[in-house]
Amino acid sequence: MIPMFEESEGFAQRLDERDPLRRFRERFEIPAGPDGEPVIYFNGNSLGLMPKSVHEALHQELEDWSRLAVDAHFRAKTPWYSYHEVFRDSGARLVGAVPGEVVMMNGLTVNLHLMMETFHRPAGERRKILIEDGAFPSDAYAVESRVKARGLDPADAIVRVAPRDGETLLRTEDIVAAIEREAGSLALVLLPGVQYYTGQLLDIPGITAAAHAAGALAGWDLAHAAGNVPLALHDWDVDFAVWCSYKYLNSGPGAIAGCFVNERHGENLSLPRFAGWWGNDPGTRFRMDEARTFTPRAGADGWQVSNPPILAMAPLKESLAIFDEAGMDSLRRKSIVLTAYLEWLLARAEHPRFEVLTPQDSEQRGCQLSLRARNGLSALEGGEIVVDRRPPDVIRIAPVPLYNTFHEVWRAAQIIQRAP
């Protein structure tokens, strides 16, 4: 339940005192501003802050490499050979999957290509991919290159859904209508869990069900949803999903990404895919003289191509341990109040210089508020607040429940409201 808010600084401080998650802030490295004090870091939707334990985690892997060299594959503190299996349970908990449906590997767009190789199989009239018109550029590039590689014309093979004229948000009924309209020709629906520009949380289970009713598969880009909102990919019967881990998952720039493959697909070893040795059955992975034919391992692991990059895996291990300790349900409860408090304070301005693009309904958004600023909000130029800017005039502000405070939200609102 969202409390009745007050404008006073003391109210923000009382919310922090009662916050059961407040101890987690101390586990992150917070950059200093020009005055030497910690900045108000509201940019976790672009790059999350570094867990302090990453220092020791990386040092451990470097020590194991130094002392053990190749033997660290089996004798390291966390053996390198099976390192990706560390995430079998924690990765599943993060997105509401069952163990075996999630693997951490590659980067998001690489994983998207790997998934489309399996789950976009044009056959007869059923060849189209439905995406949003305002898709994140990397997704749009991947989909267009995919259909071209299949010898299809993007103008015909890509169906685009967009907000209605004069609106900024997608409507579920419009997406479902487009799916039903293209039912005979649609092979894949590929949409974001949370839209990167507006912060809108889409109806993942409802749209997935509509795709299946139309005879299509449903895949999701969860770059702005994983670690931001609770997910139940297995129960929602999602076919596949991909996400990065450098935003809300705080695993470092260019961090290792995640991939979900529904259990029913993971058990189907006949599905076509791009193959590599780490996706092969471990029992024959090293029998080069005997096993010349790729035999995929069951589950999402069977889509791996290369062995895991250990130095990139270590920060993710530290981050997911924090998420396991905090719990997504607890994080979501704080996030709803934290974001609502920011929105309420900004709305108190006598002459607001921006409009909020993000849905007002907390069930339709994560922790991000996107503001269309009429004057660029010059108050954010001094370095005291770190946010993300998207041309031409949108500012994305993301108060993250793991390390942001209610007092930071109050201070940020004061700075913005006092600006000339």
Q: What is the pLDDT of residue 417?
A: 76
pLDDT bucket at 282, cuts 50 / 70 / 90: confident
Average pLDDT, rounded, for the chain: 94
Is 212 in contact with 222 (CB distance < 8 Å)? no
Which one-letter amino acid corresponds to residue 321? A
Query: Quick one: what percent of the chain has pLDDT higher than 90?
Result: 84
More reliable by pLDDT, 208 or 2: 208
Range 104-127 average pLDDT:
96
What domains, with CATH codes, occur in the chain? 9-52+327-418 (3.90.1150.10), 60-324 (3.40.640.10)
Does residue 3 register a pLDDT over 90?
A: no
Is 60 exceeded by the pLDDT of residue 230?
yes
Name the β-bridge partners of 373: 354
Which residues fall within 8 angstroms of residue 254, CB to CB, at 6 or more apart?
Answer: 107, 246, 312
Q: Which residue has the tokens 């990397």?
A: 138
- The token pair at 204 is 């993942």
Residue 290, pLDDT > 80, answer: no
352-392 pLDDT, tens digit per residue, is: 678 899 999 999 999 999 998 766 566 566 678 999 988 88
Instruction: Give yes or no for residue 102 having a pLDDT over 60.
Output: yes
Radius of gyration, CA atoms only, the chain: 22
Q: What percent of the chain has pLDDT over 70?
A: 95
Tell me what pLDDT residue 283 has. Answer: 84
Closest CA to 174 of 207, 205, 198, 126: 207
Q: Is the pLDDT of residue 34 over 90?
A: no
pLDDT value of position 380: 67
Contact (CB, 8 A) for 121 and 130:
no
Q: What is the mean pLDDT of residues 102-113?
A: 98
8 DSSP assignment: S
Q: Are 57 and 315 in contact (CB under 8 A)?
A: yes
pLDDT reading at 152 higher than 60: yes
**pLDDT, position 241:** 98
Rounded to whole angstroms, how far apart are CA atoms 388 and 395?
6
pLDDT tens digits for range 301-355: 999 999 999 999 999 999 999 999 999 999 999 999 999 999 999 988 766 678 8
d(CA 352, CA 358): 16
pLDDT at 206 over 90: yes
Which pLDDT belongs to residue 101? 98
Contact 340, 2 (CB under 8 A): yes
pLDDT digits (tens, 9 = 90+) for 389-410: 888 889 999 999 999 999 999 9
For the stretch 124-149, pLDDT in tens is 899 999 999 999 999 999 999 999 99
Query: What is the structure's pLDDT at 1?
Result: 61
pTM for this model (two decimals): 0.95
Does the pLDDT of residue 36 top 60, yes or no? yes
pLDDT digits (tens, 9 = 90+) for 59-88: 999 999 999 999 999 999 999 999 999 999
Q: What are phi and psi of 41, to 5 degrees?
A: -95, 100
